[in-house]
Structure 1
Amino acid sequence: MQENQNPAPEEAQQSQEAEASPEAETLAADTTETDAAPSLEEQLQQAQLLAAEHHDAWLRAKAETENIRRRAAEDVIKAGKFAIEKFANELLSVRDSLEQTLAVPEPTLESIREGVELTLRNLSRAFEKSSLVEINPDGQKFDPHQHQAMSMVPSDLPANTVVQVFQKGYALEGRVIRPALVAVSQGKDA
């Protein structure tokens, strides 16, 4: 019976040695680390959630961009429709002046002249506020970007000098919208 009692302590000792061996420690460490780290399924689920969040953010950004584009297009259309509003408001005083001139019960030449002068001042003020500048090149050198020569005339002035303005030109914000119609000097030699 003693032999049966001896092997039992040897088996117990071997199992204690197996538990204490480095391989057993590595296995035990691996199982505790994997218990702490997320499994592949959990990692996949987290990645899918993150992808869904990014997709949602992308959709929102895309929708916002489309809304901004649509609003900008509407603003351009409105700007085109109402760009003349400021100028139109300025022209109202011109019309009022004309109506007042015509409303005089017994107009005289003097009252009509005063009404026309008032109207011209109001129109000049409207042009000035709207950056509409008159081009009156009388006596200046001919500039094909601002003037349109209607004829060339003999003159004592140097060649290519504006000697007569048939119709004034106008520029809006520096851009010629109507060139001045002019007669240009041929010069002394011609």
Structure 2
Amino acid sequence: MQEQDKTPEQPIELIQNDGTNETSSPSQDDPAPTESTPSLEELLRKAELNAEEHHDAWLRAKAETENVRRRAQEDIAKASKFAVERFAGELLAVKDSLEAALAAETPSIESLKSGTELTLKQLVAAFEKAKVTELNPVGEKFDPHFHQAISMVESEQEPNTVVTVLQKGYLIADRVLRPALVMVAKAKA
């Protein structure tokens, strides 16, 4: 049986890069045929280089993300620090007007009144530019989100209606800066 298992060496057919076939028979003189697949060491080296490239790209992306986050935090800090800069600039004109009124040597009642009216107009203009709006809710239904009731009084108006405004309220872009202090109508006994 052992003799039947032995087969004579058969020629090996190799395919060249140019597409031609070459037949060779292994001999003891020839080294082992060259493998067309890379060795495990080469594959490992390529995988390590690839992993190193990906790790480097990941580190760069992480650093860029940190830089963007840090810049955004700096921008937020600057924005909150200088948020009132424009509004403060508008108020400087109001302050200048008040100082000019106080510096007048012999102010008359009429000049003080007209100066005060002009100063108030400057202040109202500054408020409008900063989107600060006034709440004067006389005759409106009481709303605890915008009004603060000081007392309830008997009135001809419907119950829970604002009768008197003791101090105007203010909003900044639909957010309550200060609620209006009001007196509210109560139901007649």
Return 5+ residue gaps in structure 2 as ranges: 1-7, 15-22, 26-31
Higher helix residue share: 1
Shift of 1:126: 0.8
2:33 alignment partner in structure 1: 31
Superposed CA deviations along residues 41-64 of structure 1, whole A, max 9, x for unmatched, are 221111111111101001101111
Give the TM-score normalised by the residue count of structure 1: 0.81
The share of aligned pairs that are identical, in percent, is 58
Residues of 2 paired with 1:81 and 1:115: CA distance?
33
Q: 1:106 to 1:37 in 2, by over 3 A?
A: same
Residues of 2 paired with 1:39 and 1:129: CA distance?
74
1:11 alignment partner in structure 2: none
1:139 alignment partner in structure 2: 139
2:181 alignment partner in structure 1: 181
Shift of 1:31: 3.0
Secondary structure of the residue aligned to 1:142 is: coil
Higher strand residue share: 2
Superposed CA deviations along residues 12-66 of structure 1, whole A, max 9, x for unmatched, are xxxxx84xx36x337969935x1x4322222111111111110100110111111
Return 5+ residue gaps in structure 1 as ranges: 1-16
Secondary structure of the residue aligned to 1:128 is: helix
Secondary structure of the residue aligned to 1:158 is: coil
Indicate the structure (1 or 2) with the bigger Cα radius of gyration: 1
Question: Does the Cα contact within 8 Å between 1:100 and 1:115 map onto a contact in 2?
Answer: no
Superposed CA deviations along residues 109-162 of structure 1, whole A, max 9, x for unmatched, are 011111111111111111111111110001111111111111111111111111
2:99 alignment partner in structure 1: 99
Give the TM-score normalised by the residue count of structure 2: 0.81
